[in-house]
Structure 1
Amino acid sequence: MALPQTCPLCAATAEKQIVVTAHVYGDKSRQRAFFHCLACDVRYQHPGLTADEEARFYAAEFEGFMAGRAGVQGGWQKIEDHHRANEPTRLRRMKYIQPHLGARSKVLEVGCSSGFMLFPLIEAGHQCTGVEPSGAFSEYLRSRGVEVHSDMRQLPAEVRQANFDVVMHFFVLEHIADPQAFLESQLALLKPGGKLIFEIPNVADPLHTVYDIPAFERFYWSIAHPWYFSDASLRHVLDRVGRPYQVLLDQRYDLSNHMVWARDGRPGGMGRFTSQLGAELEESYKQGLVRAGKCDTLIGIITNS
């Protein structure tokens, strides 16, 4: 196992770095591990993917990789299934996105996958653009008339001018080698007062910090993620960006999902027992985890000022 000399996020020295796990899901080389920086509280993969390895992974392997992690419920094999599987996610996100939308906002989604967030916004009259490296998803979006580009560097000059009201991305930042530069590049695309809105996994996920389920530990630490952020380490990045921001806590996965993890040691349990437990209990469980700070999702909202 290669040991880091400094934290790649805050540059804290080696004595502040401790091993989290030597098991990295999807790492065929078995040469990688995840470390925890005690200075800024980030968890990070070392060594990370090279630029060539990353490009190959997202161009050719990502959908199959995610299908293997999510199972059939994730909908990664068919576009229509992906839209249907993610409708509850879209509705959850719109609760905090809607207040930042005008009547006809210009919206950019980075990592828009199948477009399940964008299509309803387009139908509501918003002007939407997507960035999506996946070949299968981007081809589908273009066939439906959505302006989509394979990466940020391909955005036309007129699009790069500061003219978006909202730039958003969901579970993208943890895939990015330089998170600060990534956020700053997106803020440059916003109008004054525009919002950059994003979600990332919270390393305080209760399946990791509360229940300590061995099967989840083997599943959670993914080769696709250079980073796992906590509230503290995300704030470290946002403080360096230097714009006004909020960090919100949320819980995506329900009690049913956690019961299946505890019983069967595998994903795919969302809603499994909701008809017996009741939706009210499921929601109460989620909100209890949020109040305790032991929830699975962080939401960042940055204002371009």
Structure 2
Amino acid sequence: MAKEAICPLCEGNNLRLITDKARFGRKADVYKCQDCGLTFLDQNSFDFPEDFYEKEYHQTYITHVEPEALNPQAYYEKMKKATRIWADKFAKMLSGQEVVLDIGCSTGHFIDLVKDKTKKIYGHELNVKETEFCRNVLKLDVSNQPLENRFKEESFDYITMIYVLEHIAKPKEFLRSVKKLLKPDGKLIVLVPNEQDALVNLYDIPQFRSFYYCIEHLFYYNP
């Protein structure tokens, strides 16, 4: 018997089923919690391949809209332009004495834009190909080793996560572990897709809805 879906955030079961299909017709139940407002994919309703991010994510999902993703150099150039507005805003918060960690740094485009404004900046990226690009081409301090093995607690003034949190299967546990890496007055900066996308919520375009929900985005947060 299938387990009853519950909200991973508030643990309530007052849920509304939005759709049972994700991008490319994959079976996945998408719910909206009527109590706390979180939209999420029920992780018991579909199988998530262990090697998804190393293979299918770049071969199929990303390249469907971003063909540059298969080439780290091309993807770096594209994303460096797209990320500049966030990097400029973040740089204004820095004095040049901060130690920073960027989690899910991909090809290092954000790190490369702000590195000269920091005392030291590190990157964490699970994708081996992108990690090697960061280290070998950009000469950045990026690794795919577990964060708790790499850093001591209270190491960072800032930790940034740009379009990462929506991928994390257990966000509350993950954020608790990340918090330990921050200094007592450190700050966590998170950027996620807006669940209140106009094409889904205002115009309710069915074609976009079937594209919008995808198995790598487990959560859809709102302001």
Q: Is TM-score (shorter-chain normalized) higher than 0.5?
A: yes
Out of 157, 165, 179, the position equivalent to 2:171 is 179
Superposition TM-score, scaled by structure 2 size: 0.88
Q: Which structure has greater helix proportion? A: 1
Partners of 2:162 and 2:190 within 8 A in 1: yes
Out of 127, 136, 143, the position equivalent to 1:134 is 127
**Bigger radius of gyration:** 1
1:71 and 2:66 aligned: yes
Residue 46 of structure 1 aligns with an amino acid whose one-letter code is: D
Separation of aligned partners in 2, 1:205 and 1:173 = 17
Separation of aligned partners in 1, 2:155 and 2:118 = 17
What is the CA distance between 1:124 and its match in structure 2? 4.1
Number of aligned residue pairs: 222
Separation of aligned partners in 2, 1:124 and 1:101 = 6
- 2:7 equivalent in structure 1: 7
What is the RMSD of the two structures over their aligned residues, measured on CA atoms? 2.4
What is the CA distance between 1:33 and its match in structure 2? 1.2
Percent identity over the alignment is 26
1:58 and 2:58 aligned: no
Q: Closer, same or farther in 2 for the Cα pair 1:161/1:129, shift >3 Å?
A: same
- For structure 2, the residue ranges without an aligned partner over 5 or more in a row are none
Higher-RCO chain (CA-CA 8 Å, sequence separation at least 6): 2
Residue 126 of structure 2 aligns with an amino acid whose one-letter code is: P
1:100 and 2:85 aligned: no
Q: Closer, same or farther in 2 for the Cα pair 1:230/1:4, shift >3 Å?
A: farther
- 1:235 equivalent in structure 2: none
Partners of 2:53 and 2:127 within 8 A in 1: yes
Separation of aligned partners in 1, 2:66 and 2:107 = 17
Q: Closer, same or farther in 2 for the Cα pair 1:35/1:197, shift >3 Å?
A: same
Q: Closer, same or farther in 2 for the Cα pair 1:203/1:175, shift >3 Å?
A: same
Partners of 2:20 and 2:30 within 8 A in 1: yes
Separation of aligned partners in 2, 1:142 and 1:129 = 11
- 1:33 equivalent in structure 2: 29
Q: Closer, same or farther in 2 for the Cα pair 1:4/1:95, shift >3 Å?
A: farther
Separation of aligned partners in 2, 1:123 and 1:95 = 12
Superposition TM-score, scaled by structure 1 size: 0.66
